[in-house]
Amino acid sequence: MFDYSARPELLKDRVILVTGAGRGIGAAAAKTYAAHGATVLLLGKTEANLTQVYDEIEAAGHPQPAVIPFNLETALPHQYDELAAMIETEFGHLDGLLHNASIIGPRTPLEQLSGENFMRVMHVNVNAMFMLTSTLLPLLKLSQDASVIFTSSSVGRKGRAYWGAYGVSKFATEGLMQTLADEVDTVAPIRSNSINPGATRTSMRAQAYPGENPANNPTPEEIMPVYLYLMGPDSTGINGQAFDAQ
């Protein structure tokens, strides 16, 4: 496990947007960031899940989060612009962006993977992530110390059979992270890095490995040290790097 211990006020007064914040790693990251002082913007497609995370953060006495229902699969370009305008009006800037939302799609040989399924996975995992990044960059540039974290995978660093669209999308994720890192290096107070969560006790993992005993994998909460490290000021100057949570 990544070895890092965060001080309680690590993210005090920071505004951080988390995609896929309604469950799994996204929900754990949102609650962890809030517990360390951040105002967290909870973005996801299922409002009921986001509201539950919101209620847990509120009940714990952490800074009041914001719920942003937003469907990355169907969102149009003008909706990204409206999202950025709303964040600017309400919060003034953005200090952090965790790209956590993604879908697996069918795990099948490329020969049997339909174009429709391939394009759906690429749209959610790559196109939407690009749209969000490019639209929110002006708000990140208004921060004195901003961090963008991309969620990768071991199959996005070395290709593996039957991971098809998901694996290809995670290679693209690494490419987007590196491209952004090179562009902001020395010209903006923004750092761009990726995290491979590894085998974690989530519904997505269970979908990919139905025969696996989930109890053998760490919970999302247990892999949070690297998420805190990269989002907080202790990682200032770390840019364009690929991290493993475990």
Q: Is 54 a catalytic residue?
A: no
Where residue 187 falls (left for φ over 0; alpha for ψ -120 to 50; beta otherwise) is alpha
Asked if 50 contacts 69 with a C-beta cutoff of 8 angstroms, the reply is yes
Q: Which of 33, 54, 80, 166 is catalytic?
A: 166
Q: How far is CA 82 from the centre of its chain?
A: 20
Asked if 164 contacts 113 with a C-beta cutoff of 8 angstroms, the reply is yes
Identify the CA nearest to 241 among candidates 196, 187, 189. Answer: 196
Q: What is the CA radius of gyration of the chain?
A: 17
Name the residues annotated as catalytic.
166
